[in-house]
Amino acid sequence: MDDRNGTITNIIRERAKELLEKGEIAAFLGFTDGSLPMTTRPFVARSPKDAARLVWNDFCVMNLANYLPALLKSLEPKRGPKDPPPEGPLPRVGVLATGCWSRNMVVQMQENQLQRDRIYVIGIPSRGMVSRRKVQERFPGREILSVSEDGTDLVVEGKGLKERINRWEVVRDNCQTCVHPTPVISDEMLGEPVERAVTDRFRQVEEIESLSCNKRWAWFTEEISSCIRCYACRNACPLCYCPTCFVDDSRPQWVGKSIDSSDTALFHLLRAFHCAGRCTDCGSCESACPMGIRMRLLTKKLEKDVFELFGSEAGLDPNVPLPLTTYNQEDPEDFIITAGGDGA
């Protein structure tokens, strides 16, 4: 059996242990096993011994950039609001990065949430992560106890169950249309850069765009109808670091807290717009949703619009300003609706 993930796990453990032993980093952010089959959870190794708990597999779906700013802050010396900034270099963190996670780190740098010299990035060119939901759908009613990789297949095992399925078919939707699988920043790379020829990167959005206005609205309201407003999607997103999110504000209350359909629609639409020009389509929001809602398609639509209007993709270059924080005279403005104009 081809155990690529086992090999990568061993290298990660070894490198994290070395970096912690040498004092080059104060902590290492990666993954450990989750409490259920087909799950992992973010894990911070704070000692060389902890490094043995790190794992790498097809279900490392949470974007680690999400945890970096708070983790780095927690390692700084405690100080009051009037104390001067600490002198000397601050503790660094080692972190794993696929293509999209590294781009979210870049976005955090562009937004002054992260400093490059405080992270040691171990890049992993991504082959796409597997959707736990897609695997489960292949075996309705069966309890899956383990999934392992063998070449281009996954071997799915449970009580009275041992079957092979094609891995790519159960890779997450966002990974199937990913055009930047290789990390854009790294201090060392585990493996060769991956090239992926994707000719239809926006196909999932285009399917919905091709519908009439009424049918698009029907799609949207049906898609979000089971939302329980748990905010797991927001909490899993590295773009959502506002100290008080608009959904939690009560003065003013921008959006009601109920699961009334208009409140839920407003939450999803506003959150998607907050991510415009910043979203890397990492898919963490969708992977975190307990109800299987495909809210990622909203941010994907905005990714497409920003790409087509401004030729910009999030997180590719830390020295370029974010598209919606800058402008030039040539920016398109046909979408602005004016009284008496089209659409007025």
Contacting positions for ligand SF4 (CB under 6 A) = 63, 104, 227-234, 236-240, 242, 245-246, 271, 274-275, 279-285, 288-291, 293, 295-296, 299
- Both tokens of 203, joined, read 């196909």
The least distance separating ligand SF4 from the CB of residue 188, rounded to whole angstroms, comes to 24
The DSSP secondary-structure symbol of 35 reads S
Nearer to ligand SF4, 187 or 263 (CB): 263
- Paired strand residues for 166: 153
Taking the least distance from each CB to ligand SF4, the nearer of 20 and 121 is 121
Nearer Cβ to ligand SF4 (84/243)? 243
d(CA 207, CA 200): 11
Q: Nearest approach, Cβ of 97 to ligand SF4 (angstroms)?
A: 14
Enter the tokens of residue 153.
């297949």
Query: Taking the CA atoms of the chain, what radius of gyration do you get in angstroms?
Result: 21
Please report, for residues 129, 140, 286, the alpha-carbon distance to residue 34 in angstroms, rounded to integers and kept in the order given: 15, 22, 18
Nearest-approach distance from CB 135 to ligand SF4, in angstroms: 19
Cis peptide leading into 183, omega within 30 of 0? Answer: no
Q: Which is nearer to ligand SF4, 20 or 289 (CB)?
A: 289
Q: How far is the CB of 227 from ligand SF4 (least distance, A)?
A: 3
Q: In whole angstroms, how close is the CB of 238 to ligand SF4 at the nearest point?
A: 6
**3-state class (DSSP) for residue 152:** coil
Record the tokens describing residue 243, joined without a space. 């100290």
Written as six digits, the tokens of 220 are 């949207």
Q: Which is nearer to ligand SF4, 36 or 228 (CB)?
A: 228
